[in-house]
Each structure stands twice: as structure tokens, then as C-alpha cells.
Amino acid sequence: MNPRVMKFGGSSVADAACMRQVATLVREALPAAPLVVLSAMGKTTNALFAAAKAAEAGDLPAALEGVKALIRAHRSSAEGLFATGLPEDLDRFLTEAFGQLELFLRGVALLHELSPRTQDAIAAHGELLSTRIFAAFLRSEGLDATWVDARQVLRTDATFGEGQPQTGRIKALALEKLLPSLGPGRVAVTQGYIGATEDGLTTTLGRGGSDYSAALFGAALRASEVQIWTDVEGVLTCDPRIVPNALPIPELAFDEAAELAAFGAKVLHPATIQPAVEADIPVTVRHTQRPGGRFTTITSHVSSGRSVTALASRGPVTVLTVASSRMLAQSGFLARLFEVFGRLKVSVDLIATAEVSVSLTVDADAPLQALQEQLSSFASVNIHEDRAIVAVVGERLKKTAGLGGRLFGALNDINIEMISMGANEINLSLVVRRSDEHEALRRLHAALIETDHLKGGQP
């Protein structure tokens, strides 16, 4: 049978009580042959990065104190799971893992150097620790649970810190090393976020990469479903911290979800969607502490049915406006423009063109001085920092008469500095001052989503 992938984030495995809840969900899923993919516990990854940076700066005592705090937290959680004490093999693993971590940090402090390769090796400890503890607990509860080192399966290139998955190798290794441990009544436990090169060097997929891992495993195993268990009841129409009236979205198209993720929605890692899209596997987003509550199903075959599905925002971003009279009726200007961005390895989000100018947005950490110097050789450049992108996403944007009037009416006294319609026609993005970002979201949500909901539209 096709297994079910269940990914649990850091908040879902933050302590012993959380892990017990996850174990309950896994037990209920045993007939579906679950593969459990875990993140590190709580804020462990942040703590590991902080310890590594302290060691690089030469502050070894601070780095080691960070490790001691992690030891206490993990041992406390583990002891809360085992009434009769830690299993001998788990106790030995914890001791060895933290000993290895201390050696890494001492080496970094000695050399005052933290390479991406070493940072990945340090960061990987979080997922290795959480999965060892959880797998041991499942076995103590009588479950047929196998711990699998994701580095034996999730093959990447040697881009440390942002490993690029080798999907062909992942599929072959998943069938060889994961599938034998899966079946009705059996569970395999592995790590999100981490992988390894063909030579066995530890890599990571970048921050938030556990969702990506789950989708990659799901695609490789032809899973029946990829479940993302987190601390919200599915995908909402906006960030509820900004818009308290945000509504749940029961069904969401893959392309809508990808747009929301790319433009700032926090529930999904942007790259999570693609492996599932290609394998045509549904992804559901669920609340770990409210398993019977609302959730969102994401597939390639559905639509939310609303004129506007959801809103997202991302900032700060920087707007560059590049102008030259030589653009008028001339070819090759855009090629020359984007050659500069390619040379400096700067990614562009939004683009809007006029007869003699091009406006575009880049991340706030883009090398603005270098961009301005190189672009100024053939055009004038104006730079506006501390802006935000507000994205209006929905499959029926272009088919809904009067939508533009409602949108601009809601923002009548907020200055919109740039407008861009996505090439897929499901994303209308606006650029506003960062100080207007949240107010713009609240107004648009009230005008485009809450109004339709009150009229009887589906949330």
C-alpha cells in the first residue's frame, strides 16, 4: 500500500507532552503505514546556530553553555516520556551526540571559522536528537517503530546550507532503505531538514526545510497523502496575527498555495509544494493539538471557489526603478538590465514596465550599491527601501467583475507604488510602504474576503 507521510514541526515535538500527543496521532494512523518526519524540538535549531556563532566569535564558554541548556532540555523531555528511566541505547546516543556537538564547537572556536559544511553538521543534531527520542518512546509504547537516518536517503548536492535534492537518487534510496520499514501496523521515524551528499557529508535544505523533506519522501514513495502537522488549523485567508478575522480555507489549489508561500504565508515552505505537485499527491495542513478540527487540503484538482482566496505579504523589500530614454523603440535593453542582476546573483520578485522605465523589487539584503553602480553605466536608478509586497491570490481574479474597484477603493488613501499581475494570472501584487503593510492587509481582507463570506461565499 502507499504509505502516509506525517510531518511534525518543532512546536509539535517541543516537550514530552507534545510528543505524547504526536504518538497518539501516529498510533491512530498505523493502518495507513505512516512515515513520520520530525523537525528539531522547539527552538533547538536556533540555539544550535547561536552556539555555533558564539564559538566562531571565540566565545567558547557561551557556546558550551548553550549546549548544556540543550542537554538539560532534551534529557528533561526524554525523562518525561519514560517512567522507568531512559533506555540504555537512547541514553548512550544522547551522551555521544552532545559529546560530538561539543567537539564541533571546540574546533570552530579554535579556528575562529564556521564553514557552511561545519554549520550543517552542527545544525543536523536537532533533528537527530528529536527523532531518536521519539522513536524510542514509540517502541516503549509497544509500537513497531524503526528509526531511519534521513542522510541515508535524502541525497543532495554539496551546496551546504541549501542542499539541492537529487530526486532520482532519493527515490531509489527511499525504496531501498525506507519502504521495508513501512507497512500497516508499522512506522518509520526519520528527520526533516537534513540530508547528505553522495560522499556522506551532512547537508541541510535551508530553514523550514522539514516540509520540503516530507514532500520529497512522499513523492519518492508515492505516498497516499503528505500531512503537515503544525500549530494552525490549516491555511487561513491571511496571517491571523495581523487579521484576527482570517478564515480557514478547506480546499486550496497547488498553484494558489505556491503563490501564497512564495509571498510570505508562514504555514508552508515555498519549495514544499513542488515535489507533491509533480507526484500528484494531496497535502493537508493540520493542527497537532486539534486533530479533529479544521484543516486544508491542497491538490492540483480543486479551487477554493472564491474570487479572492487569500492574502499574503512579504517585507522589507527594495524597489528599483531603472529608466533610460534609450529604451524607447529599442531592443536589447531588458537583456542588458537583467544581465546585471544575473551577474550579481540577485533574484527579482516583481516587474512592471513602461515606455522608458522598469520597476522591480529585490530582497532587502540585495547588494544595492553594486547594483546601482553597474546599472548607472547605461540608465538612471532610483532606489526606495523599506517597502512591502502585498499579494492578492485567487484563481478567479481576472474573472470577477468589479474586483479592481473594490481593491483600490479599500486602499484609497494608501499609496500604491507598484502593481504587478502574475504571469499565471492568479496573483495581483501591490507594493506599499512597510508602515502601511498591515493596514493594507486588514482593509483588503475586509473588502475582498469578509464581504464575500458574509454574502454566503465559501470560506
Q: Are residues 205 and 324 in the same domain?
A: no
Cα separation of 244 and 246, whole Å? Answer: 6
Cα separation of 69 and 47, whole Å? Answer: 9
Residue with cell 550599491: 369
Averaged pLDDT for residues 66-84: 95
With cut-offs at 50, 70 and 90, classify the pLDDT of residue 326. Answer: low
In a domain? residue 190: yes
- Angle, CA 204 vertex, CA 124 and CA 72 arms, to 5°: 20
How far apart, in Å, are the Cα atoms of 364 and each of 268, 349, 392, 393? 22, 12, 21, 23
* Amino acid identity for residue 376 in this structure: S
- Strands in 275-426 per DSSP E: 283-287, 296-299, 310-323, 348-353, 357-363, 380-393, 418-421
Q: Are residues 222 and 103 in the same domain?
A: yes
Averaged pLDDT for residues 165-187: 96
Domain limit, last residue, from 231, 255, 270: 231
How would you class 100 by CB atoms within 10 Å of its CB: exposed for 0-12, middle for 13-18, buried for 19 or more? middle
Q: What is the pLDDT of residues 215-230, one digit of tens each?
A: 999 999 999 999 999 9
Q: Are residues 431 and 319 in the same domain?
A: yes
Domain limit, last residue, from 231, 260, 283: 231
Q: Inform me whether the pLDDT recorded for 206 exceeds 80.
A: yes
443, 448, 450, 456 alpha-carbon torsion, rounded to 10° = 170
> Range of 371's domain?
310-454
| 96-100, 311-315, 351-355, 420-424: the lowest-pLDDT one | 420-424
74, 78, 84, 87 alpha-carbon torsion, rounded to 10° = -90
In a domain? residue 338: yes
Q: Inform me whether the pLDDT recorded for 448 exceeds 80.
A: yes
Query: 3-class secondary structure for 42-108?
Result: CCHHHHHHHHHHHHHCCCHHHHHHHHHHHHHHHHHHHHHHCCCCCCHHHHHHHHHHHHHHHHHHHHH
In a domain? residue 304: no
Sign, Cα dihedral of 40, 210, 284, 238: positive
In a domain? residue 286: no
Cα separation of 65 and 344, whole Å? Answer: 39
With cut-offs at 50, 70 and 90, classify the pLDDT of residue 423. Answer: low
At 458 the pLDDT is 46
In a domain? residue 341: yes
Question: Strand, helix or coil at 155?
Answer: strand
Residue 265: how many other CB atoms lie within 10 Å: 23
**Domain count within the chain:** 2
In a domain? residue 411: yes
In percent, the amount of the chain with pLDDT more than 90 equals 69
Q: Are residues 57 and 206 in the same domain?
A: yes
Domain limit, last residue, from 202, 231, 260: 231
More confident residue, 235 or 105: 105
How far apart, in Å, are the Cα atoms of 85 and each of 76, 93, 133, 233, 332? 11, 14, 12, 35, 71
More confident residue, 198 or 338: 198
362 DSSP β-pair partners = 318, 348
Averaged pLDDT for residues 39-46: 95
Q: Are residues 227 and 350 in the same domain?
A: no
Q: What is the pLDDT of residues 370-407, one digit of tens each?
A: 999 999 988 899 999 999 999 999 877 777 778 888 88
For the record, the C-alpha cell of 252 comes out as 486550496
Residue with cell 474570487: 307
Averaged pLDDT for residues 442-458: 76
Q: Are residues 339 and 198 in the same domain?
A: no
Residue with cell 507532552: 17
Q: Are residues 36 and 137 in the same domain?
A: yes
Cα separation of 146 and 138, whole Å? Answer: 9
Q: Are residues 93 and 209 in the same domain?
A: yes
In a domain? residue 395: yes
Q: Are residues 81 and 203 in the same domain?
A: yes
Q: Inform me whether the pLDDT recorded for 455 exceeds 60.
A: no
* Amino acid identity for residue 305 in this structure: G
Q: Inform me whether the pLDDT recorded for 63 exceeds 80.
A: yes
User: DSSP letters of 373-396?
Assistant: HHHTTTSEEEEEEEEEEEEEE-TT
Q: Inform me whether the pLDDT recorded for 126 exceeds 70.
A: yes
At 459 the pLDDT is 42
Q: Are residues 227 and 316 in the same domain?
A: no
CATH code of the domain containing 377: 3.30.2130.10
Report the relative pairing of strands 225-230 and 283-287 from DSSP bridges.
Answer: parallel
Q: Are residues 78 and 201 in the same domain?
A: yes
Cα separation of 442 and 459, whole Å? Answer: 16
205, 210, 216, 217 alpha-carbon torsion, rounded to 10° = 130
Highest mean pLDDT among 14-28, 206-220, 376-390: 14-28
At 270 the pLDDT is 62
Cis preceding linkage at 3, omega within 30: no
CATH code of the domain containing 26: 3.40.1160.10
At 42 the pLDDT is 93
| C-alpha closest to that of 23 among 297, 291, 267 | 291
In a domain? residue 14: yes
With cut-offs at 50, 70 and 90, classify the pLDDT of residue 231. Answer: confident
Q: Inform me whether the pLDDT recorded for 452 exceeds 90.
A: no
How far apart, in Å, are the Cα atoms of 109 and each of 102, 106, 114, 149, 204? 11, 5, 9, 28, 22
Q: What is the pTM of this model?
A: 0.85
